Structure 1
Amino acid sequence: MSPSLGVQLYTVREEIAADRPGTFAALAGFGYRLVECYDVLTDPEALRADLDAAGLAAGSVHAHVLADPERAEAAFRGARTVGADTVFVPYQPPERFADADAVRAVAGELAEAAKRAAGHGLALGYHNHEFELAQHVGGVPALEVLADLLAGQDAPVQLEVDTYWAAVGGQDVPALLGRLGDRVTHLHIKDGPVTKDDPMTAVGTGRMPVEAVLAAGAGARRHIVELDRCATDMLTAVRDSLAWLEGKSR
């Protein structure tokens, strides 16, 4: 299996709440070796110990690091503790992408946070939802405006494109990835009906053009399976997603 293929632990948050060591063991049993963490503030030392015990490595984490400097510093320390190299800001409200001034403010905050992250030996990035693609600034999707504003920063800001939410936002995802190019270092791979509120499905069983997305995003360092919610058993969907993706990589 490619070491660049992993799973966002938010996908199995309910299973983790019930039995974290058992869930990690199940992920490893399916063949996962890489994970993306969603909470490195609550006892990151214990999280690292459980990951190590299962043979899992944390490549990246999601953490809110823009509004609260103390929380940001704690998140950066937590990211280092679990062994990650990249921190992604997972969400900013839709109004922060409503016009050019708002997007410019987000870009400035990300650039400053990237400098602080670099001081911890970490890279920083941004993860999208649907509205950053559905909302346009000057006729251009707001995420692309953000990406252009971030170009040339002293501490580069990476993009983690959530391919499903980009599609829900009305984008031709392979074309979007082509426009964004090497600024995209991570992809969230998910599948389903490509609607905002309906449950998702195992990768390869929905309406997403996953093969075309993978081809367009081949330059990304990591492809991360994430299912926000699923109508079937989540662990089964996570297992089947990996099997499908591994089959396509052979």
Structure 2
Amino acid sequence: MTTPAISIQLWTVRDELTADLDGTLTQLSDIGFRNVEAFGFVSRADELAAAFARHGIASPTGHASLASGTENPFDASIAVPTPEEVFAAAQKLGMTTVFDPFVAPDRWESVEEITKTADALNAAAAIGAGYGISVGYHNHNQEFLTKIDGRFPLEIFAELLDPAVSLELDLYWAAAGGADVAALVERLGDRVTALHVKDGTLEPLPTLGAVPTDQVPAGQGVVALSAALDAAHSAQYAVVEFDAYPGDIWQGVRVGYEFLTARGLV
């Protein structure tokens, strides 16, 4: 069993990063974070690499579209970088794994569509291998909203992936989709190499396309974070994240970090 390293998805402090990159990294470092998970890094890899180096921070994982084709799933006006561009940028940042963070809901409704997504990610993984970088997938709740032959689409997807392709399980979104997250982690086994340690009351139940209003610091909601961490025998990273938080974001982040250090993670 591995002990996951603590990280934070920089989306959590996206506004702070835009306002003051160095100041934000200083605050993360002061809390204790030594790892971060970058997003939107392809167009600013050099800038981020230099900033991370100044603050003694590593970015072993990152998020970038790999299986979405040429259409940006978040903003159609923004071009999707090629896999080669993604991996070249990831290489500059010293990443070991790039997780695709989103594939549209309608692509999880049939085995045929799930297979297409798996094939696309497997193809990206073959390219990534040439850069020494592995590939994975990060869920939201669309991979759990329907069942196919009694199984969640994400589980079918996992079986169609090349053995080298991993999963980063977002525990909050999986719980929002109706999954027993600890049992799910057990079933997925060594596919799960990272966890998004994110909590909420799930009241109201979040939906894609709307900003969640229920998220709370890790350990203060109803998501079975501790049980899922106990079940994640192959997880290399435990990643703190908020999609949205109405309180003091730095207080929320610190509580998340302390939740993980109390479990013996560093």
| Range into which the TM-score falls when normalised by the shorter chain | over 0.9
Say if 2:94 is the partner of 1:83. Answer: yes
Map of 1:128 onto structure 2: 139
More off after superposition, 27-36 vs 190-199: 190-199
Q: Give me the CA root mean square deviation.
A: 1.5
Among 146, 153, 160, the residue aligned to 2:168: 160
**How far apart, in 1, do the equivalents of 2:5 and 2:259 lie?**
15
**Structure holding more helix per residue:** 1
More off after superposition, 41-50 vs 177-186: 41-50
Map of 2:229 onto structure 1: 214
**Identity across aligned pairs (percent)?**
37
Which secondary structure does the structure 1 equivalent of 2:216 belong to? coil
Q: How does 1:42-121 map to 2 (within 5 A)?
A: 42-66=43-67, 67-68=69-70, 71-121=82-132
Q: Which amino acid aligns with 1:180?
A: L
Among 187, 191, 202, the residue aligned to 2:217: 202
Where has structure 1 moved over 3 Å in runs of 4 or more?
A: none
Contact 1:3 1:33 in 2 (8 A): no
Q: How does 1:143-182 map to 2 (within 5 A)?
A: 143-150=154-161, 153=162, 156-182=164-190
How many residues in Structure 1 have an aligned counterpart in Structure 2? 246
Please give the TM-score of this superposition, normalised by the length of structure 1. 0.94
Contact 1:48 1:82 in 2 (8 A): yes
**How far apart, in 1, do the equivalents of 2:254 and 2:226 lie?**
18
Map of 1:11 onto structure 2: 12
Unaligned regions of 5+ residues in structure 2, if any? 71-79, 207-211
Unaligned regions of 5+ residues in structure 1, if any? none
What CA deviation, in whole Å up to 9, does each residue of 1:41-74 have, x standing for no partner? 2221110111111111001010012314852211
What CA deviation, in whole Å up to 9, does each residue of 1:193-232 have, x standing for no partner? 1231323111111112221111111421111111110011
Q: Which amino acid aligns with 1:118?
A: A
**How far apart, in 2, do the equivalents of 1:207 and 1:81 lie?**
38
Contact 1:202 1:237 in 2 (8 A): yes
**How far apart, in 2, do the equivalents of 1:236 and 1:202 lie?**
8
Contact 1:48 1:81 in 2 (8 A): yes
**How far apart, in 2, do the equivalents of 1:175 and 1:97 lie?**
21
**How far apart, in 2, do the equivalents of 1:241 and 1:111 lie?**
33
Please give the TM-score of this superposition, normalised by the length of structure 2. 0.89
Q: How does 1:20-59 map to 2 (within 5 A)?
A: 20-59=21-60
Q: Which amino acid aligns with 2:96?
A: D
